[in-house]
Amino acid sequence: MVDTARAARMAKRISSIVASAIGTEIKDPRLAYVTITDARVTNDLHDATLFYTVMGESIDAEPDYEAAAAGLAKATGILRSKVGAGTGVRFTPTLTFVLDTVPDSARHMEELVARARANDEMVARRAQEATPAGDVDPYRAREDDIEDGTAKDGSVE
């Protein structure tokens, strides 16, 4: 029987163990700017996928994704040992690290929304300044133009 609640609890526990180990116990400088964002564990609790992001040394600095991936690959054995000791399960899950693309996707979506808002504002400005090509209401005859059910232009209502 599959216990997805147990897998979710295990994923949360694994992410906290790995994050604290990266922050305090592993002294690899390549992992200084790595943050664990999410973890997922298979229902049989044998495989764990950890999602991470990498920040640059400063706001303007580009993150070094390759160095972070190499540092995580090197530290996988130690981190797996920490997870096994911290969770106390029969089988320690294998750890797989995947670069989290959600922040980049969110930034891209924000740029698209900003561009759409700018286009909407431009269309609204043009619509306010626009004038009709013909009469304001070309499909209706005014009340004073109608005499005996016939408009001055000859149409019948």
Task: Tell me phi and psi for residue 154, to 5 degrees.
Answer: 100, -5
Residues 6 or more apart from 70 whose CB is under 8 A from it?
A: 30
**CA 2 to CA 8: how far, in whole Å?**
12
The pLDDT value given to residue 120? 93
The pLDDT value given to residue 133? 75
Pick left, alpha or beta for residue 47 (phi over 0 → left; psi -120 to 50 → alpha; otherwise beta): beta
Helix H or strand E encompassing 36:
strand 34-41
The pLDDT value given to residue 2? 65
**Pair type for strands 146-147 and 150-151:** antiparallel
The pLDDT value given to residue 100? 87
The pLDDT value given to residue 147? 56
The residue among 96, 59, 57, 58 whose CA lies nearest residue 79 is: 96
The pLDDT value given to residue 145? 58
- Ranges of each domain in the chain: 4-99, 101-130
The pLDDT value given to residue 142? 61
| pLDDT tens for each residue of the chain, 157 residues long | 567 888 999 999 999 999 999 999 999 899 989 999 999 999 988 999 999 999 888 878 888 889 999 999 999 999 999 999 998 888 999 999 999 888 778 888 999 999 999 999 999 998 888 887 777 676 766 665 555 555 555 555 5
**DSSP 3-state assignment of 146?**
strand
The pLDDT value given to residue 140? 66
The pLDDT value given to residue 93? 93
The pLDDT value given to residue 41? 94
- Fold of the 4-99 domain: GMP Synthetase; Chain A, domain 3 (3.30.300)
